[in-house]
Amino acid sequence: MSPMPHFLSTETLNAPPAAALFHVIPVPFEASVSYGGGTGDGPAAILTASGQLEANVGRLVPSARGIHTTAPVDCEGEPEAVLARIEAAVSRVLAGNRIPVLLGGEHTVSVGAFRALARLGKPVGVVQFDAHADLRDEYEGTKHSHACVMRRAHELGLSIYQIGVRAPSIEELDYRQAHAIPHLDARAIWESGLPDPILPPDFPNDIYVTFDVDGLDPSVIGATGTPVPGGLTWREAVTAIERVCAGRRLVGCDVVELAPRAGDHGSNFAAALLAQTLMVQAVS
């Protein structure tokens, strides 16, 4: 396998770890996809596409604060072993007061980051962009499924806010209601638009954004394993990201579930721009 390029490789050097605010962590893990496959190729596709980005987003240049792309996390072995490696990688970045930016891989990779966040010993809120609630206790015989990610986050004691959900199961709706998990589902956005502010005032000041690309409408990113019509437009997604980050501190983020397909450069580019858009929130 050829080495992955670093993020924004045509615009900037791969900054030394100590000089970089952002640490991009590729995690090519794919074990529990339940429809279309290919998420293991997502990190390489995002990094390659990032070479076509401009260094700036408007007048903001996140790379000016340094972007270091790490070696890919070793994704061989049992899921628990992989999650332990992800947790360790994210913990190292957080310990240095840097911002981890995970590139998946299936959504399960986020659980490793959630475990690292839970060990910080302070309130952290997870803002989830997703077509699915991911609140199942287990799916297809495993608790490590991509469909269980937010259930694991909730069990860790992390606060959760869900945006863009439009394909929840009855089990997930019941769990969300029983635990009063706040949310802004796709239908509410269709009917009333995006509120401002989005997050409740008592939501933690430190937030982690986990962005499953199927949260976007398939017309924006179609290269994903479980596309669902009726998702966020690009404009809605960027506006929502800006509003949830306004007045809060972004401590980390991920972009997951890209499943690259031949000839679809647009999906790869949009996922790369999404990662860069999240970085912008930490320097704006």
Q: Report the C-alpha dihedral over residues 74, 78, 81, 84, rounded to 10 degrees.
A: 90
Query: Is 212 labelled as part of a ligand binding site?
Result: yes
Query: Is 183 labelled as part of a ligand binding site?
Result: no
Strands 99-104 and 159-163: unpaired
Strands 99-104 and 125-129: unpaired
Q: What does the alpha-carbon distance between residue 64 and residue 106 come to, in Å, rounded to a whole number?
A: 30
Query: Is 214 labelled as part of a ligand binding site?
Result: yes
Strand ranges of the sheet holding 99-104, from the earlier edge strand across to the other edge: 67-69, 22-27, 99-104, 249-256, 206-212, 125-129, 159-163, 183-184
Query: Is 264 labelled as part of a ligand binding site?
Result: no
Q: What does the alpha-carbon distance between residue 141 and residue 148 come to, in Å, rounded to a whole number?
A: 11
Helix, coil or strand: residue 255: strand
Closest CA to 102 of 46, 9, 26, 153: 26
Backbone angles phi, psi at 59, to 5 degrees: -105, 10
The three-point CA angle 102-8-132 to 5° equals 35
Query: Is 6 labelled as part of a ligand binding site?
Result: no
Q: Residue 263 corresponds to which tokens in the numbers above?
A: 């000839």
Q: What does the alpha-carbon distance between residue 34 and residue 106 come to, in Å, rounded to a whole number?
A: 10
Q: Residue 240 corresponds to which tokens in the numbers above?
A: 């929502």
Binding residues: 107, 130, 132, 134, 212, 214
Binding residues for Mn(2+): 107, 130, 132, 134, 212, 214
